Amino acid sequence: MSEPIEFYFDFSSPYGYLMSEKIDDLAARYGRKVKWRPVLLGVVFQATGSAPLTRQFPAKAEYSLLDFERSARFLGVPYRLPSRFPLPTQAAARTYYWLHGQDCGQARAFAHAAYRALFVDDRDISSPDTVVDIAAGLGLDRDKVATAIQSQEMKDRLKAECEDALAKGIFGSPHVIVDGQPFFGADRLPQIEKWLETGGF
């Protein structure tokens, strides 16, 4: 039995969003499961001395905005640049880990809903209230979600997940690990597919 594919991402990462719309179906075609692991790119960038694509130099920022949209069209995924971008994603990531402790399927559904809220419906998912609304839309109890977002347990959990990701060499989003092999970027989907198909190349 193969280990699950690990999918590291930040909820404000456009390429992470594109990967989120593709990785489960791709894995399923090869009988594989995927473990989703939201992290905070702010923590990752601080540790590595890096910066978001749109806050590097102007030519790269301009290209990145164009490439986000074109890559979404290429992959057939609905996308628009959020009004606020990038933004902090603690509330969404903590909600994900809280749900994951109870029901993996619900956590996955929430992750898709949060990503689509940001990149399709242009909602400000940095706001805990918005995250509570998104969770409520999936039938979850508003008060319990609001409490989880502010809980020390989930703050510690997210911090530990970020540290774990850094220890594994994660430096951006999306970062996918298949059989110990790291693949960085939504543009590595064809290589991931070939890896799954051939068992390594």
Taking the complex as a whole, the smallest distance from the CB of residue 134 to its own copies amounts, in Å, to: 31
**CB-nearer residue toward its own copies: 103 or 197:** 197
Question: From the CB of 98, what's the least distance to its own copies, in Å?
Answer: 28
Residues interacting with its own copies, by CB under 8 A? 48-50, 56-57, 59-60, 62-63, 66-67, 70-71, 73-74, 169-171, 181-182, 184-185, 187-188, 190-191, 194, 201
Q: What are phi and psi of 161, to 5 degrees?
A: -65, -40
Give CA–CA dist 44/12, Å, rounded. 13
Which CB atom, from 73 or from 159, has the smaller least distance to its own copies?
A: 73
In the complex, what is the shortest distance from the CB of residue 56 to its own copies, in angstroms, rounded to a whole number?
A: 7
DSSP SS3 for 150: helix
Q: Which is nearer to its own copies, 111 or 189 (CB)?
A: 189
**Of 92 and 178, which has the nearer Cβ to its own copies?**
178
Closest separation between CB of residue 49 and its own copies, Å? 6
CB 142 within 8 A of CB 136: yes
- CA 49 to chain CA centroid, Å, is 20
**Cβ burial 148-177 (10 Å sphere, 16+ → b, else e):** bbeeeebeebbeebbeebbeeebbbbbbbb
